[in-house]
């Protein structure tokens, strides 16, 4: 599924929205953005891996991903779905109040504001499709109205997932909290009382990647943020994100992002996103 809204953000737009539908459209690997994403499911069902959680959502449920939040989604076999996805940059937020917790972690909403949120998203989609006089101003107004609505409504705790998915959520949480430590498949399987082969199968099913790939991408996500946002040296960042040596860090960084750490550092203060992917 092509993510046209993502491409519009990459081209310099500050707000982009897209409606899409599909079946058996699953992500290839976890990814993140340098902007906010609101994912609203209109029909069907989806399972989202967000940060260290696995969340099952249904019609009317929606997720707000802050910048740099690792996420991934997939559906059960042959189950069709339709969704709206809204991307917006932090610069478009014009509220006097900070987004607070909404900017710190992924939030799931299943509240009585569903209808209002859906109407605002449809209005945003109409404005972007119409592209007439002042449509960009209208989109910024609607976006901030939507954010005010979210700030006034409580999020809904995620519904419990079946035991195997709960265990996978625990494994993902452990990796997110301990990615700087040495991690092997054998020790991870032993810690969670499963065989390495079973862990490999289940982890691939739920995340689209192997354990080592996931850990490396998680480390690189944090490394990239440190390169862009802090004055730490490449050597320090390599050590702080769990790499045994600078050579391994440089190779892994280049394979994941397509550029070297030093090239990334040169992007400080500029808009970039190397983790485009289907939603």
In this structure, are 227 and 122 located in the same domain? no
Please state the rounded mean pLDDT for residues 67-90: 88
Q: What is the CATH number of the domain that holds 240?
A: 1.10.10.60
User: What whole-number distance in Å separates Cα of residue 241 and Cα of residue 219?
Assistant: 5
User: What whole-number distance in Å separates Cα of residue 227 and Cα of residue 254?
Assistant: 14
CA of 232: how far to CAs of 216, 268, 269, in Å?
20, 13, 15
In this structure, are 89 and 194 located in the same domain? no
How far apart are the two ends of the chain, measured CA to CA in Å? 7
Of 270 and 30, more confident: 30
In this structure, are 145 and 9 located in the same domain? yes
Please state the rounded mean pLDDT for residues 170-174: 85
Last residue of a domain, one of 152, 173, 200: 152
What residues contact 72, with CB distance under 8 A and at least 6 apart? 27, 29, 30, 31, 48, 49, 207, 208
Q: State yes or no: pLDDT of 160 exceeds 70.
A: no
User: What whole-number distance in Å separates Cα of residue 51 and Cα of residue 48?
Assistant: 10
Is 95 domain-assigned? yes
Is 24 domain-assigned? yes
Please state the rounded mean pLDDT for residues 109-120: 78
In this structure, are 100 and 218 located in the same domain? no
At residue 76 the predicted structure's pLDDT band, cuts being 50, 70 and 90, is confident
Is 275 domain-assigned? no
Range of 99's domain?
Answer: 4-152
Is 193 domain-assigned? yes
In this structure, are 111 and 189 located in the same domain? no
Last residue of a domain, one of 127, 152, 177: 152
In this structure, are 101 and 12 located in the same domain? yes
Q: State yes or no: pLDDT of 29 exceeds 70.
A: no
Q: Are 26 and 137 in contact (CB under 8 A)?
A: no
Q: What is the CATH number of the domain that holds 140?
A: 2.60.120.280
Nearest one of 223, 217, 212, 218 to 263, comparing CA atoms: 223
Q: What is the mean pLDDT of the chain?
A: 84
Please state the rounded mean pLDDT for residues 23-29: 74
At residue 52 the predicted structure's pLDDT band, cuts being 50, 70 and 90, is low
Q: Is the pTM of this model over 0.75?
A: no
- Which 3 state secondary structure label does DSSP give 31? strand
In this structure, are 72 and 50 located in the same domain? yes
User: What whole-number distance in Å separates Cα of residue 54 and Cα of residue 37?
Assistant: 17
How many whole angstroms from its chain centre is CA 75?
Answer: 16
At residue 54 the predicted structure's pLDDT band, cuts being 50, 70 and 90, is confident
Is 276 domain-assigned? no
Q: What percent of the chain has pLDDT over 70?
A: 87
In this structure, are 46 and 138 located in the same domain? yes
Q: Which of 24-38, 133-147, 169-183 has the lowest mean pLDDT?
A: 24-38
Last residue of a domain, one of 152, 174, 203: 152
User: What whole-number distance in Å separates Cα of residue 185 and Cα of residue 212?
Assistant: 8
Is 255 domain-assigned? yes
In this structure, are 181 and 126 located in the same domain? no
Is 274 domain-assigned? no
Rg (CA), the chain: 19
User: What whole-number distance in Å separates Cα of residue 124 and Cα of residue 136?
Assistant: 10
- Helical (H) or strand (E) element with 154: none
Please state the rounded mean pLDDT for residues 172-200: 89
């Amino acid at each position: 599924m092509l993510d046209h809204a993502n491409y519009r953000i990459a081209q310099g737009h500050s707000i982009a929205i897209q409606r899409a539908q599909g079946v058996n459209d699953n992500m290839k690997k976890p990814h993140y953005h340098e902007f906010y994403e609101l994912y609203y499911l209109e029909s069907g069902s989806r399972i989202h891996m967000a940060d260290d959680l696995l969340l099952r959502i249904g019609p009317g449920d929606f997720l707000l991903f802050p910048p740099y939040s690792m996420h991934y989604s997939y559906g059960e076999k042959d189950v069709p779905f339709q969704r709206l996805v809204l991307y917006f940059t932090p610069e478009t937020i014009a509220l006097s109040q900070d987004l607070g917790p909404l900017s710190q972690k992924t939030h799931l909403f299943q509240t009585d504001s569903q209808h209002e949120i859906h109407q605002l998203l449809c209005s945003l989609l109409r404005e972007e499709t119409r592209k007439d006089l002042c449509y960009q101003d209208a989109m910024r107004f609607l976006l901030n109205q939507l954010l005010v609505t979210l700030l006034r409504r409580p999020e809904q705790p995620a519904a419990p997932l079946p035991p195997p998915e709960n265990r996978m959520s625990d494994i993902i949480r452990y990796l997110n909290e301990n990615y700087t430590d040495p991690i092997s498949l054998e020790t991870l399987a032993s810690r969670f009382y499963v065989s390495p082969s079973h862990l490999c199968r289940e982890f691939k099913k739920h995340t689209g990647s192997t354990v080592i790939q996931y850990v490396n991408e998680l480390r690189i996500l944090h490394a990239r943020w440190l390169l862009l946002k802090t004055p730490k040296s490449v050597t320090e960042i390599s050590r702080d994100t769990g790499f045994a040596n600078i050579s391994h860090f440089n190779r892994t960084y280049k394979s994941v992002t397509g550029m070297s750490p030093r090239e990334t550092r040169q992007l400080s203060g500029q808009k970039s996103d190397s983790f485009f992917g289907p939603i």
